[in-house]
Amino acid sequence: MAQSDVTTEACVALLDRLVAFDTTSAKSNLALIDDVRGQLEALGIATRLTFNDEKTKANLWATVGPQDKGGIVLSGHTDVVPVAGQKWTSDPFKMVERDGLLYGRGTADMKGFIACALAYGADMTKRDLKTPIHFALSYDEEVGCIGVKGLIADMAENLPLPRAVIVGEPTSMQLIGGNKGGRSFTAIVRGVPGHSSEPGRGANAIMAAARFITYIEDLQQEFCDNADPDCPFDPPYTTFDLGLVNGGTAGNIIPGECQITWGFRMLPDDDSDAIEARIRAYAEAHIDPPLKKISADAGIEIIRRVDTPPLRPDTTSPAEQIIRHLTGLNQSGVVSYGTEAGHFQNAGVPGVIFGPGSIQQAHQPDEFIAVEQIDKCRKFIGQLLDWAETGA
């Protein structure tokens, strides 16, 4: 069994290097991917890339160890959320350390985990790994887990099915075995514009949108009232959100269009298709008819933008058992935010969420991760590699 010489300082240095790449979801991540690919291939580690349609973004997959069997995936997304409109004490893309905390966009969510994993690249190549270790780096997780779909499709078609995946989202190195899923939509309500002094000659898109919004609010209350008090999620029911409403052109014009950005975060046991179908049925029965009575071109259109499956808790899964064995943790929790783990689970790869840093720092100005968390993650990955050498 090889003796690891990977230090916390090496992980921090690599994190500094990763933070310097502005991989905000609206931008390309290719510079970061090319840099990581260069690091790995310099060590003799082959990589696979899958791209978006425009070839402006890429996922990266790499395997160390036996190429003919599935192993443990260390999974992370390379994109970060925007810093626009946030007040930062320092440049968000120049990592700084203050009092044992590393500040920079993506330090917690989730380049800290990626840095710890990649820091072991050279160490991995010196080991006789019986169980392979896979790197899986995705794009556009923050805008709907878009990139990981192509990565998983390529994996399923061309590679051995992995045994388990560890998605390194920030959990303060606590074991998370389940997360809510989520669907996001745009509802476009089209009315008939006209002079506000003659409301009967038009169809008010905002008023129709208000009825739709009220229905979503009523649904939220229904799910809340029927919540299972023993449900481990917080809150313990499927939640609905209405994030953006935009409509109208002037105060004296009947609004001809109103757009609503909305969605829901469902419990793993709730039927997301049934929830969506129920909402669409309401819109068809109660929003469309009054509008189409004025004009056949009026009505409501509901467009699904994001569909992120939940991670269903399974305490018997190989993913949970490996973490428990290596860390001594005997309990797993759940979270209400979405991750890529559900996509892996749906592809037959059991997963957990387990990584350094706190979700409370994610997406915030002056985002940070504690050096102590980097050190804990470093030690865990070293333990994982020791285990992978045994072929257990």
**Catalytic site residue from 123, 141, 366, 367:** 141
Q: Tens place of pLDDT for every residue, the chain, 392 residues?
A: 666 789 999 999 999 999 999 999 999 999 999 999 999 999 999 999 999 999 999 999 999 999 988 899 999 999 999 999 999 999 999 999 999 999 999 999 999 999 999 999 999 999 999 999 999 999 999 999 999 999 999 999 999 999 999 999 999 999 999 999 999 999 999 999 999 999 988 999 999 999 999 999 999 999 999 999 999 999 999 999 999 999 999 999 999 999 999 999 999 999 999 999 999 999 999 999 999 999 999 999 999 999 999 999 999 999 999 999 999 999 999 999 999 999 999 999 999 999 999 999 999 999 999 999 999 999 999 999 999 999 77
Same domain, 166 and 43: yes
Q: Which of 22, 79, 142, 320 is catalytic?
A: 79
Q: Are 156 and 233 within one domain?
A: no
pLDDT at 2: 61
Question: Could you tell me if residue 187 is inside a domain?
Answer: yes
CATH number, position 220: 3.30.70.360
Q: Is residue 277 in a domain?
A: yes
Query: Are 136 and 222 in the same domain?
Result: no
Residue 2 located in a structural domain: no
How much of the chain is in helix, strand and coil states, percent to nearest 5? 35, 25, 40
* 303 and 337 within one domain: no
- Verify that 222 and 120 share a domain, yes or no: no
Same domain flag for 227 and 131: no
- For residue 13, is it within any domain? yes
Count of all residues that appear for the chain in the document: 392
Range of the structural domain that residue 222 is part of? 182-308
142 among known catalytic residues: no
Say yes or no: 270 and 222 in one domain: yes
What pLDDT, on the 0 to 100 scale, is given for residue 3?
67
28 by DSSP, 3-state: which? Answer: coil
Domain CATH for 12? 3.40.630.10
Q: Of 308, 323, 342, at which residue does a domain stop? A: 308
Predicted local confidence at residue 292, as pLDDT: 97
In a domain, 1, yes or no: no
Are 125 and 50 members of one domain? Answer: yes
Burial of 250 (0-12, 13-18, 19+ CB in 10 A): exposed
Going 47 to 50 to 55 to 57, the CA torsion angle's sign is: negative
Instruction: Give CB contacts under 8 A, 24+ apart, made by 375-381.
Output: 375/8, 375/11, 376/173, 377/11, 377/112, 377/113, 377/116, 377/168, 377/173, 378/6, 378/7, 378/8, 378/11, 378/116, 378/119, 380/173, 380/326, 380/327, 381/6, 381/74, 381/116, 381/117, 381/120
The answer to whether position 14 is within a domain reads yes
Residue 129 and residue 17 share a domain: yes
Return the ∠ at Cα 384 (arms to 383 and 387), rounded to 5°.
90
Where a domain ends, among 284, 308, 332? Answer: 308
Reply yes or no on whether 228 is catalytic. Answer: no
198 and 117 in a single domain? The answer is no
Query: Does residue 81 sit in the same domain as residue 192?
Result: no
- For the chain, how many structural domains are there in total? 2
- Residue that finishes a domain, picked among 261, 290, 308: 308
* Cross-strand partners of 367: none
Domain membership of residue 90 (yes or no) is: yes
Domain check: are 100 and 158 in the same one? Answer: yes
- Closest to 120 (Cα-Cα) out of 176, 50, 65: 65
Question: Within a domain: residue 298?
Answer: yes
pLDDT of residue 224: 98
